[in-house]
Structure 1
Amino acid sequence: MELRPVPGRLNTNSADTLTSQTSDPPLQELRPMPGRLDTDSPDTLTTPTSEHLSTDSNLNIVWWDGDNDPEHPYNWPVWRTRLNCTLVSCASFVAPLATTLFAPGVPQLMREFHSDSEELTTFVVSIYNLGMAFGPLLIAPLSEVYGRVKIYHVCNVGFVAFVIGCALAPNLQSLIALRFLSGVFGACFSANGGGSIADMVPQERRAGAMAAFTLGPLLGPIAGPIAGGFITSAKGWRWNFWLVAIVGTFLSLVMALTLKESFHPVILEAKAARLRKSTGNPLLRSKLDSGLTFKHNLRRSLVRPVKILVYSPVVTLISLYIAVTFGYLNLMFTSFTEIFENYYGFTPDQVGLAYLGLGVGSLVGVALFRLTSDRYLAKKAADANAAGDNSNVPNGGMKPEYRLTNLPIGSLLVPIGLFIYGWTTQYHIHWMVPIVATGLISCGNILTITPLQMYLIDAFHVHAASALAASIVLRSIVGAALPLAGLRMYSALGIGWGNSLLGFISLLFLPLTFVFLRYGEYLRKRFEIKTL
């Protein structure tokens, strides 16, 4: 049966909230589900318990068939979970790849379109990020109404179509407009990918999958100029877009054939629809169905990312921190060509290789996060249970704040890398030194952004996509604006003091690291949003 839009989440004051579990008579007895989540947030899924079963007498509620229900994404075969996670991660690489792939070809296209404006030269690259800022405001909420898969397929078609339009653009104005629209649709996987991973992977095993997903948006813009330089030299700037369109089309076809819906409310709604048809009982409904009208639910969903960003100071501060850190990377993407050509005499092909420092640093950051995050989370959970601290409360030891252990390291590596990169370049120290410094920056970037994104996912779970969308909006706006001002800053201050200024700004965020670690739980509960 065709999936209907899923109505909004239940009111937490009702008997049918997410924390009370029921069983329909034809279904087997519920048992505790794996991967329990922190119940401090009203929007998190919880484990069914015997207490829940005994207190809920509504026999028309449809829920999971016990802890081994094959429909629950946590219980999918390993190959399916890995396939879905891999496809989402690959897509999160391809869309950001389009940000910078054609950057080495910008001088060529500006000559073709008879323009010598420095502002337009930068804007034609960064306009894509503005599209990625607006896209999540629509895409993430819609995925919480219609499910992940339908939104992925629609956005894949839109992304490929507008990238092809970029390849065929007859003038600079149309290219800028098409770049913006391709960014809107390309934001889909950055906005929803983290939510998909939260759907499929239990909290205690989520770090590895999330690290791989985070790598895409960071490595995509790094790999872009490396490949783009050679493609531009061999085939011209338009082929940079054709390559993205070809890869995007292939990935879209694979996803159309293999991707499976993972959003829990959509799966349960489909199950309820099947049972209504097979039993003839029209009263059966999903436990996550509050009975809202489609119009009401859609309106609530569309304002959710803005509501989270405005009313949760923790999310606001996290989003601002991510935006500044990510903006530094975007500034490097747009300034590497000029800096390494002017200071070290690199050719366009050699400039592409200068991005390898960022790539290696990102891989090191991912490895460190993957090795430490889940282990620390499991240790804290075990310590809490051993001490009897919240041992009878679902997920008593797995607090979102435990994801932030790597944050102080990342917060220090970014400014240190900026200082070294700026002054060694200013004094023409061997080119290997500033490239290693960019590796420190990208490693710090991973160890800053990934823990903060994991925090948002663990804290908001069901609405993880909307929480991530809130952070992506600021991230993309800063990512688009900073490169426009960055080159002027370097011209006015020099590369040494310019990067030092960025380093000092980064240091201003360092105290936030310890605020999140020490007071994050208090702030999260104090400013809890009751109705999402």
Structure 2
Amino acid sequence: METSPPEKVPDTAFTDTDIEKDSVPESAEFKDPNVVDFDKPTDPENPMNWSSTKKTMAIVIVTAMTTLSPIGSTISAAATLEILRHFDSTDETLGAFVTTVFLLGYTFGPIVIAPLSEMYGRAYLYKICISFFVVFNVACAVADSLGSLIVFRFLAGVAGSCPITIGTGSIADMVPPEKRAGAMGAYVLGVVFGPSIGPIAGGYLAPATGWRWTFWLMTIASGLMTVVAMLFIEESYPYVLLKRKTERLRKETSNPNLRSVLDTGRTPRDLFAFSILRPLKMLLSPMVFSLSLYQAVVYSYLYLCFTTFERVFGSQYGFSSGEAGLATLGLGVGSVIGVFGYAISSKRISERLTKKNGGDLKPEYRLPPMIIGAILTPIGLFWYGWSAETKTHWIVPILGTVFIAMGMIFTFMATTVYLVDVYTVHAASVTAASTICRCLFGALLPLAGPSMFQAMGIGWGNSLLAFIAIAFVPLPFVFYLYGQRLRESKLFHVDF
């Protein structure tokens, strides 16, 4: 009979799952024969011990789904004016909402997806949500009113939020902390580069074949992704893997007393109720809230650009919708540079600081690159806004957006990796908490873009955003210098 190993379970075997360390039965340390665990530290069933090929394939699939979803979030942005003309509307705010309502789905989806993944595993959620993503994109393609299009866009966002919500948890299941920055970099590339692809595809496809084909294209792509997910995604969540192993051993041994080492003792109903509130409770933590708020503000600037590029470059430079879509390449290039720049700098800085401080890798060592992002973001906003305002050559404002994207990436990745490292056993929940905050801002702030630019102009409008970004500059310094002390302070602790 397979039972728990005689030695204490190493922490790295279960890093970054949504299981509380305190819930591990004390008896597991006393060789309780009824406690089921992975057989040994090198057990191949443990996702931490999967082969490099298997881990790479899993991360590539998750990253592909994560890229596809943000493409869907912005693919209608460059076709906004055509959509409004089709439905006889002139409301630019409503047109922007067609794009950003997708992010409202990102806001509400994680609240349910995170606890469901804890109960039933990540693989089931990936497969179910990608299937619904196909269905709702079909519904968008055949929508017969602006209202129904908005509703189906929202539902597509809910389904599309799945890889955004639990993708970091999947990586944490398989990759130890010292190697996580590189793997997270590949994953985040999909999150941030995807939105830049959408307007380019939609900008050229909509004028040529009609706006509905932007959603048919998403249907085809997500349909192929659904087949891949059904065939190749495997469960990586240790809690679910050990739960299945326990159920199997109960049948094989007829021993009803067997229990998983990660069993919390909660019923599925209690577990769902407990878990659904955890991301919201985590936002009550000053640490989670402040970092998530900063990430949300910078992230919303990205979508503000997406929803206003057609107007800005159309009115200032006479760009067509396709050419306005190509203007997002600056954001895409900046995102790619930011991902690789963060991955390289984070690795080198954290290794140097770890070595300097006795070999103890602290989460705060992830934060110095965030200081770079705090500086780049306002520089990019000033650059983009005033160069577009004065109608300099079109390449100049696009170069400014490169800095905006780089700043956003450094901020996004640093806060994400830091929060995952701090709340290791609650990785999916803390990601859900930050996603809720980030996407709520991303959905609502861009709605003010048309009115703001009309009232203040492109230059002063972007300057206002830059001043807000400057107000957050002290944040990475505070958490780098005092993060550990704040983490250990009762004032920064919330029981979740």
How does the TM-score come out when normalised to structure 2?
A: 0.94
1:490 lines up with 2:490 in the alignment: no
Measured against aligned partners, the alpha-carbon deviations of 1:332-362 in whole angstroms (never above 9, x if no partner) come to 0001111111112222222122111111111
Q: Is the contact between residue 101 and residue 443 of structure 2 (CA under 8 Å) also seen in structure 1?
A: yes
Percent identical across equivalent pairs?
44
Structure 1 or 2: more helix by fraction? 2
CA distance in 2 between partners of 1:474 and 1:109 (Å): 28
Given that 2:141 and 2:213 are in contact with CA atoms closer than 8 Å, whether structure 1 keeps it comes out as: yes
- Deviation per CA, 1:278-332: give whole Å up to 9, x if none: 222211111110211222111101111111112x110000110011000000100
Partner of 2:324: 351
| Residue 326 in structure 1 maps to residue 299 in structure 2 | yes
The answer to whether the aligner puts 1:361 opposite 2:334 as a matched pair is: yes
Residue 227 of structure 1 corresponds to 201
Q: 1:25 to 1:146 in 2, by over 3 A?
A: closer
In 2, are the aligned partners of 1:206 and 1:374 still within 8 Å (CA)? no
Q: Distance in 2 between matches of 1:369 and 1:109?
A: 38
Q: 1:522 aligns with which of 485, 489, 494?
A: 485
1:421 corresponds to: 384
| 3-state SS of 2:450 partner | helix
Amino acid at match of 2:479: F
Answering whether residue 452 of structure 2 is matched by residue 452 of structure 1, we say: no
Q: Which amino acid aligns with 1:358?
A: L
1:503 aligns with 2:466: yes
Kindly state the Cα deviation for residue 379 of structure 1 after the two structures are TM-superposed.
3.8
Cα deviations across residues 6-41 of structure 1 (Å, max 9, x unaligned)?
xxxxxxxxxxxxxxxxxx8756554875858999x9
Q: Could you tell me which residue of structure 1 aligns to residue 437 of structure 2? A: 474
Aligned equivalents of 2:367, 2:179: Cα separation in 1: 16
**Which residue number corresponds to residue 139 of structure 1?**
113
Quick one: which of 427, 445, 457 aligns to 1:464? 427
Q: Root-mean-square deviation (CA), in Å?
A: 2.3
8 Å contact kept, 1:276–1:282? yes
* Cα deviations by residue, 1:429-459 (Å, 9 ceiling, x for unpaired): 2211111110011011110001101111112
Aligned equivalent of 2:191, options 217, 233, 236: 217
Aligned to 2:148: 174
Structure 1 pair 150–54 and aligned structure 2 pair: CA distance change class (3 A): closer
- SS of the equivalent of 2:423 reads helix
Counterpart in the other structure of 1:244: 218
Q: Aligned residue for 2:179?
A: 205
Match of 2:242? 268
Q: Give the Cα–Cα distance (whole angstroms) in 2 for the partners of residues 514 and 127 of structure 1.
A: 34
Contact residue 135 and residue 185 of structure 1 kept, 8 A: yes
Name the structure 1 match of 2:128. Answer: 154
2:48/2:175 contact within 8 Å kept: yes
Matches within 5 A, 1:80-91: 80-91=54-65
Indicate which of 360, 372, 377 corresponds to 2:350: 377
> Which residue number in structure 2 is paired with residue 99 of structure 1?
73
Shift of 1:156: 1.1
Distance 2:242 2:362 in 1: 26
The match for 2:287 is: 314
Distance 2:247 2:157 in 1: 36
SS state of the match for residue 98, structure 2? helix
- Check the 8 A contact 1:103/1:125 in 2, yes or no: yes
Structure-to-structure mapping, 1:175-190, within 5 angstroms: 175-190=149-164
Where 1:224 maps in the other structure, the secondary structure is: helix
2:53 to 79, 102, 111: 79
| Deviation string, structure 1 residues 91-113 (Cα, Å, up to 9, x no partner) | 11111111111222222222221
8 A contact 1:422–1:496 mirrored in 2: yes
Contact 1:34/1:74 (8 A) holds in 2:
no
Does residue 285 in structure 1 map to residue 248 in structure 2?
A: no
Deviations 1:379-424 (A, max 9, x none): 44444446xxxxxxxxxx1222221121100000000111111111
Q: Give unpaired runs (5+ residues) of structure 2.
A: none
Q: Distance in 1 between matches of 2:142 and 2:89?
A: 18
CA distance in 2, matches of 1:203, 1:130: 31
Q: Aligned partner of 1:108: which letter?
A: E
Query: Given the superposition, is the C-alpha separation of residues 31 and 290 from structure 1 closer, same or farther in structure 2, using an over 3 Å criterion?
Result: closer
1:117 aligns with 2:91: yes
SS at match of 1:187: helix
CA distance in 1, matches of 2:161, 2:397: 31
Cα 1:298/1:36, change in 2 over 3 Å: closer
Kindly indicate whether the alpha-carbon contact (under 8 Å) linking 1:37 and 1:46 is maintained by their aligned counterparts in 2.
no
Match for 2:300: what amino acid?
Answer: G
The CA distance in 2 between the partners of 1:399 and 1:152, in whole Å, is 31
- Offset of 1:76 from its aligned partner? 0.5
CA distance in 1, matches of 2:266, 2:439: 33
Given that 2:19 and 2:262 are in contact with CA atoms closer than 8 Å, whether structure 1 keeps it comes out as no
Provide the rounded CA distance (Å) in 1 between the counterparts of 2:229 and 2:58. Answer: 8
CA separation of 1:42 and 1:204: change in aligned 2, threshold 3 A: same
Q: Return the offset for 1:486.
A: 1.4
Q: Distance in 2 between matches of 1:73 and 1:381?
A: 26
Deviation, 1:377, is: 3.1
Out of 65, 74, 78, the position equivalent to 2:39 is 65
User: Residue 55 and residue 352 in structure 1: after superposition, are their counterparts in 2 closer, same or farther (change >3 A)?
Assistant: closer
Which residue is 2:370 aligned to? 407
How many residue pairs were aligned?
A: 493
Amino acid at match of 1:507: I
